[in-house]
Structure 1
Amino acid sequence: MTTLLQLDASARGGRSDLHDHGSHTRRLTARFVSRWRAATTDAVVYRDVGQSPPAPVDGAWVHAAFTPEAAREPWMHQRLAQSDALIDELLRADVIVAGVPMYNFNVPSGFKAYIDNIVRVGRTFGFDRAREGEPYWPLLAGQGRTMVLLSSRGDYGYDHGERLSARNHVEPSVRTAFGYIGVDDVRTVAVEYDEFGGERLAESLSHAEAAVDRLVDRLLAERSAVRTATA
């Protein structure tokens, strides 16, 4: 059975299809998960890092994380408890569905705090200064995880080669962070024109929802093919 981890990072609490001023990314993640659930009995784990963000990394966290586990003091284990819970949740997931809107050209602060808590030495990436070649390596590589990144943007033209692509630090930063720990299969869909509203936003939402539907069908087909090939 596949396990989905649904992450919502929007500061907006509602969905734009149900609430005035609601979140487009929450709308897309809900659509993805609803369509997936309609076709499977897979488990879904939910975490809202927009409304309940993880504690940001501080000096105590860094001290604890870079202290060998056997040498950690009780306060260190306590400081890392939330990070451990987030990582355990991630490790159980086969598919990560993340709703991550663009805030000032980058990810929301709650999602950045999430990334900082899960990118952790000894748990999701390895480090050995005596290792030949690259001293860092991903610990989640080759485990078949897929990340679905569903975003929204106030302006338009942020995709590769378009007018504002150089200002888009959402997809590139998420790909970099998750690729660093070994999750390098990242699929993306984005809504644009949020600040314009009207027909352009409505059309972008319609295209994004159709893209989400196609992506669900594609991923389900891919995973079915893998199960058949390994049966």
Structure 2
Amino acid sequence: KVLDGSGNGWTSTVLSGMQWIYDNREKYGIKVVCLPLGCPSFMSCHDDPLSVAAQALWEAGLIVCASAGNNGPEASWISSPGINPGIITVGALHSYGTSILPENPLCDFSSRGFTLDGNRKPDLVAPGAAIVSLNSDMTFIPKSSADYRGARLESYYSRGSGTSAACAAAAGITALLLEKHGDLTPDEVKSLLRHSCRSLNLLKEQQGFGLTDINRLLE
């Protein structure tokens, strides 16, 4: 919604979209904000414009999910607004549709580590490699996220990889949780999400609390 046809955009445009969400949250009953985008940040989360805007949404009662970024495997390259310590920042793992995960399922590209403020990110991880989803005649995604080597599996489907896909999965799980428990606050939702995760036996600065487990979350 805030990117152009090539999947690129300006910080000002993203901020305008976030402002629209803030202004219309009650009119449309908005509860979950999915931000599957980001940009490098070289400032504190308290000064970074996207982080500040995400914090305003969170404090207004909206659950904000943001992608960690696709700048791995080097540490400490978390994208903004995912640098914000309060919101839910999501990294990516590869499962390729199987229930048995490899020894190290974390995607190499998935950003991980510490922000400039010393906050450990991501908070959790979700599937984000070779994700098949419905196609669109207006697909505004950057080329870095789409697997263009056979991306169009059929005319109705496409395939892509990135923490953006993982972020969308986490946001969807959050919506299901709110459907069942609509009175939860953003902080309560984040706590439940984190503590229902399955550990991947990786460092916390790689996996956060681990893989989101929807069955454990909703039971």
Short-chain TM bin: 0.3 to 0.5
Q: Which has the higher helix share?
A: 1
Larger radius of gyration: 1
Normalising by structure 2, report the TM-score. Answer: 0.35
Normalising by structure 1, report the TM-score. Answer: 0.34
